[in-house]
Every structure is written in C-alpha cells, then in structure tokens.
Structure 1
C-alpha cells in the first residue's frame, strides 16, 4: 500500500488529501481570509504561512510526514511541457520563483510538496499543470507573424476525465478521439487524439466566454477598449475577471443564471443560450481538428451538473458523437493517481 499526501493551493484555500493507493482517507480544506493573506505582497511569499498550516493540520489529524511514500502538489504556471507526472526538481523550483507566465496560487503546490517531502526523505511530484502542451505545429499559427497560440487549459481534469470516458467506451485513452469540454469557473474545449491534446480553446485567450472571462472578442472593439484611457492592469482585470456572464448579469454563479433563465428573465435566457451556442461552436471546431472522427464528447466540471445545459449542448452537437457527462472535478484524485503510477514503476517525466 502506498500513502500519498496531495496538496492543492487555491486563491483562498489550501486543499490537502491523503490517499492510500486510490482511496482518499482524509480530505481537508484550509481556508485563508483576505486579512490572513494581506501581509504577503506576492503569492510566493505565502509559502511558509501555508506550510505551517499544512503541518499543523496533519499533526491534528494524527499524521507525520514520515507516514507518506510521496507528496504530490498542484503544478502551476510552469514552462510548456508534455502531459505526465514530474518530479519536483531544482529547475522546477527555480521557475516557480521566476514564473515564466506569472503568479498563481497553484504555483505554491510544487514548493510546498518539495519542502514537506524533503523533511521525510521522499520524492515530491506534480501532475499535468495548466501549461501542458501537446499541440501540433499547425495549431500554433495565428495569422500574424510573431504571435503564436499557446496551450493553457485544465489539463489535470481534462486528462483525468478523458481516461474515465475511455473506460466507459471500453477502450484505452490512447485508442480514442475525444472532445473534452471543461465547464467550470473557466472553460476549455480540447481535441484529444489518441492520448494527446492536439488543440485547445482556452477562455483565457479565445473560445467561448465563461462566467467571468470574455473568451474570443472582436479585434477592433478590443483595440478600442484597450485605448479608451484604461491602464493595462485595468484592461486585464476587466477581461480576466469581470467579463463573460458577470458583465451581462452581475453574477459568477451559474446556478443563479439557470434559475433566472427558466423563470422568465429574457436577458438571462439569452446569455444562457449564448453560452451554449459558443460552447457548441468550439466543439464543432475541435471536431474538424479531429477530421470528424470523434468517439465521444465529454462534458465535465461544475456546470456539467446542469441537465438543462448538457441537454441544450446535445441538441446542437449530439449527432457528432455520443455525449458522456462526467460532472465535477477530480483534481485531488488525479494528482494522487499520477504519483501512484510513478510509485508503481512508471518513470517520471523530466522537466
């Protein structure tokens, strides 16, 4: 039996779980208030504060660091790398302290895992960070020289649900072509070709809008907005956290949107329909990427709990391929399983 500590830092909490092989035996969500985090200028400065809380929680639950065979942390905004399980090395830590794509709470996952693992004399790992890149060369071309499409998406959940859907099809993940639609606070729609994500729409840059991000926007209107007297910081905040559904309806809660949309609120119904419409356009594009050889369309993450949303998507794209609905996310389990594969003999990837 292998015992794995999993660490997943978020903006306002640090989730930890303990797995014995694939069974989760402890799950804790350590919350951080705004006042708790206020003294830290940069996210990386929160390292010792969060580490102390993890150590305190483990002690309260009767665990020592020497009880574990490995520690697995959430990967952050690291360099673009292929999918897989990676050992946390000095190169990883160096990039966390000098992040190539900016600060994010998930960046803390690897350094927290490394620090705790070193205390116990064991290995620290991370699995499928958002910077996983398996795109084809042709998919990178944008239409403007010097500007290239990049791969950022919900790789951890996309890969996990891709494997889960493949099992439902009675095949291996490496044998099928899937379109996986992650519909959470952020949205990503990806083409999985026999185990590789060869193209992806990521709401951070393109594709369907989400609850508070704009996705693809008209270029000229975007240029005018950028030169409307706003600073770069103001533009990034508006488009990164105040766009999407929030800009229309003032909420980031999809459940609230759904209730309003089907209770006579015409504006809410329009935005609900537009969200469905744009998701389906992205699915259609990814079907073309796969030359319409699609084994299944997988709907996952929080919004996939909505039967109305999934049904509306099926009305558009149900003829393309069978639709498999796998609501929610399994980030902690996916991290544990990635580490377990290495503990059971699979070689870790080299960062």
Structure 2
C-alpha cells in the first residue's frame, strides 16, 4: 500500500442491490469523524432484472447525481458499472490512492469479534454461518467474491454487524434452553445493527464531552428494522435482537418479542407451515401488521385524522420502547444518556417524546422545543435539569465501516 493510499470503498451487498460509498480517510482520526471526506455515494438496485438502476453521486466534485437504467445481470456486472462511474470522476478502483475495500457482513457469529482481513478461510467461515443468516450472509459473500475478483491485490475487510455485541456476558447472550441443543445449533443471542450502535454510543459520549469508557448509554436504533442496546463504558452488555433480527422492539414489518408458543399454535390450529409463519412474523407483522402502514410519517398523519388502528399501532410501538428503556436502565444501573438514531429515531419527534414521557423518576425528560428542531447534527433534546441526557445522534454505518477498515489496514 502506497503512502498516499487513504481511500476506502465501502460496499453493502444485498440480494438484489449494491450500496456503496467512497471515502477519503486521510485526515480522519479513530476517535472522531471530522477528517473523513465522502467522495462518492451510490446505489445499484434490482440487480438481475431488466429494470436495473444505478444512481451515482460524485460528492467530491459537487456533481449532480447520474442515473442509468437497463439490465445489470449480476453483482459482478454491478460492481463493474460502479467502477466505471467512479473512473469517470477520476476515482477509479485502479487508483493507487485506494487503500482497501470494506464490506458490511451481517453475521460473524462468535468467531469474528473485530474487523477482519478477508481470505479464503474467512470466507468459508462466513459461509458456515449462512444457516443463521440466510437472507444476508449469502448476498454479503457475493459482494466480497466480486470485489476480490476485480481487485485481488487489494486488502478486503469484513466489518460484522454482530461484532459489537460479542462483549455481552453469557447471562445476556444465552437463551434458557437445553445447553447441548443450543451449542450444537449455535442458538444464542447475537444482536445486529452493531456498527450503528458502536458509532452512536461513541458519538454520544463525545456529545457529552467524555470518553466512551466514562459513560453508559442506551442506544435506540429505530428504522424499519429496530434494535436497542445497553452500552457500559463503550462495551455492549445487552441488546434486543437475538439469534435473528426478529427479536426485540416492534419494527416496520417484524413482530419483535413474541411468545414462542405462538408458532406452535399457528402450526397446530391454523395449519400454517414454518415458511408461512416465518413470512408472517418477519414481513407481515410489526406496524404493517397492526395498521397496514410501516411508514411512521403516514401513521402519524392517520393518527392526526383520528385513525384508531394507527393510534393503537403507535401505542404498542412506544410501549415496547419504554419497556426496553426501563429494562436497560436496570441492566446498566446508572444511565448517562439515551440516544435515538436511524430513520425514525432521527426524524420522528413524536416517537421520541412519547418514549420518554413518564420516565421523569428515572431522570429522563424531553424539552419540547429542542425535540422539535430538525438537524443532521448530533444534539441534546433534554432540559438542563435532567439527570440523564436524551440525544438525537444521526448514525453513519458507512463511516464506521470505513474507519474500522482503514484503522486495520494502516495499523
């Protein structure tokens, strides 16, 4: 790697999509993001279809977004198309300034607790974990193999969604089922959204003017998928998602916590197959199952118009949030901050207000005027008298992946 190799390409490969960002990390520090510069961002969607679309924005030159439409056969063709777009801006993947490619990998099991340079042995282990992440790891593997074929000489780094949660004690990670069965089938709580929880907990500490090791934070990552984490001194000690992303909070289309016997009941009484129950709980439940909408903006509009189903869905969503805030307050013992992040957490002021309302005895409160402010910057929305800070901290998983990748290859 040359001395001026300071760029990192971040790839997030889905089953039919490829998200990417190119960042220059030359002036970035490991404890802050102010030195990183985004040079380009983009998305290839509907890969494998006749209606494939690539949207590319060259941020480094301030250029306008360029869109191309037409069939893109597979991920290899998608990455080649991305490379051509980057080359058109003087940011080609053959540039000596490219230090590494960082890949988001959803499931790393217990083996991968830190960012890892990818070789064949690492790839085989990621493949071995496909049974516990059948929707995500196969797509991640495709992206890795495609990138390695295009730039076999370049370090490729896997950054795992589960890694941040591997610090959970066994008392939090274990399910209370037969140990031999659990171990034989790798059944335990792994947690997800780890790069977001890591980034937001660290940025929250910075917002308070403290080191991550000095604060305890409850992070609420609220998007279409949603998860909570309890972070003590920079280390995760509990999180809401489990073996899969189904457990925990009410989400856009996922049920979150549910009595496991519901699955037996649906099989025995409703005659549903395992696949049908999987579809129900993961894609037809949560907000969309409760009221037919999984967009919080639309739900709030319906509430304002007096829609009772939307109001009930909102109340169930908030009730689950409160339960986790209370539970993680007990787990941590002392809480310095509650941080809201991701699409709903960053933008839905009514959700933040409702989730914290009534928690004054826990030292938590929201200032209505501060909560109403819209900003892309981390900010406090709690009044000065509150013992626990309540913050809105925009997440940046791509930056977190780039930082971890660059730190590893330059160590």
TM-score interval, smaller chain: 0.7 to 0.9
Query: Out of 191, 210, 224, which is 1:185 matched to?
Result: 224
- Residue 262 of structure 2 corresponds to residue 225 of structure 1: no
Q: CA deviation at 1:297?
A: 0.8
Task: Give 2:14's match in structure 1, choosing from 4, 10, 14.
Answer: 10
The 5 A counterparts of 1:90-239 are 90-98=120-128, 99-105=130-136, 107-109=138-140, 112-113=143-144, 115-116=146-147, 119=151, 121-130=153-162, 132-146=165-179, 147=182, 149-202=188-241, 204-227=245-268, 228-239=270-281
Distance 1:112 1:271, change over 3 A: closer
How many residues were matched structurally? 337
Give the alignment's Cα RMSD to 1 decimal.
2.6
Please tell me whether the aligned partners of residues 75 and 146 of structure 2 are also in contact (alpha carbons under 8 angstroms): no
- Indicate which of 26, 31, 49 corresponds to 1:35: 49
In 2, the alpha carbon distance for the partners of 1:111 and 1:172 equals 38
Cα shift at 1:83: 4.5
Superimposed CA distance per residue, residues 304-351 of structure 1 (whole angstroms, 9 cap, x where no aligned partner): 111111111121435252211124x31211111111222442xxxxxx
Q: Does the Cα contact within 8 Å between 2:14 and 2:140 map onto a contact in 1?
A: no
1:141 & 1:15 partners in 2: Cα distance? 33
Q: Alpha carbons of 1:191 and 1:83: their partners in 2 closer, same or farther (altered >3 Å)?
A: farther
Change beyond 3 A, Cα 1:37–1:94? farther
Alpha-carbon offset, residue 233 of structure 1: 0.7
Report the equivalent of 1:69: 99
Cα deviation code 1:170-206 (max 9, x no counterpart) = 1122222111111111111111111211111117343
Q: 1 or 2 for the larger relative contact order (CA 8 Å, sep ≥6)?
A: 1
CA distance 1:316–1:201, shift in 2 (3 Å): farther
Question: Taking structure 1 as reference, are residues 112 and 208 closer, same or farther at Cα in structure 2, changes over 3 Å only?
Answer: closer
Q: Which residue does 1:19 correspond to in 2? A: 23
Looking at structure 1, the residues matched to 213 and 145 of structure 2 have their Cα atoms a distance apart, in angstroms, of 31
Extract structure 1 runs of 4+ deviating beyond 4 A: none
Check 1:267–1:100 CA distance in 2 against 1; reply closer, same or farther (3 A cut): closer
- Distance change >3 Å, CA 221–CA 186, structure 1 → 2: same
Q: Deviations over 1:29-63 (max 9, x none)?
A: 1122673599xxxxxx9543443333343334433
Q: Is the radius of gyration larger for structure 1 or structure 2?
A: 2
1:336 aligns with 2:336: no
Q: Distance in 1 between matches of 2:283 and 2:172?
A: 27
Distance 1:117 1:303 in 2: 35
Shift of 1:220: 3.9
What's the secondary structure of 2:90's corresponding residue?
Answer: coil
Report the alpha carbon displacement of residue 123 of structure 1 after superposing the two structures with TM.
0.8
Task: State how far apart, in whole Å, the 1-side matches of 2:401 and 2:12 are.
Answer: 9
TM-score normalised according to structure 1 size: 0.87
**Is contact 1:174-1:194 (8 Å) kept?**
yes
TM-score when normalising by structure 2: 0.75
1:84 aligns with 2:114: yes
Q: Which moved more, 1:257-266 or 1:56-65?
A: 56-65
String of CA shifts for 1:225-270, please: whole Å, max 9, x gaps: 1322111111101101111111121122121111112221122112
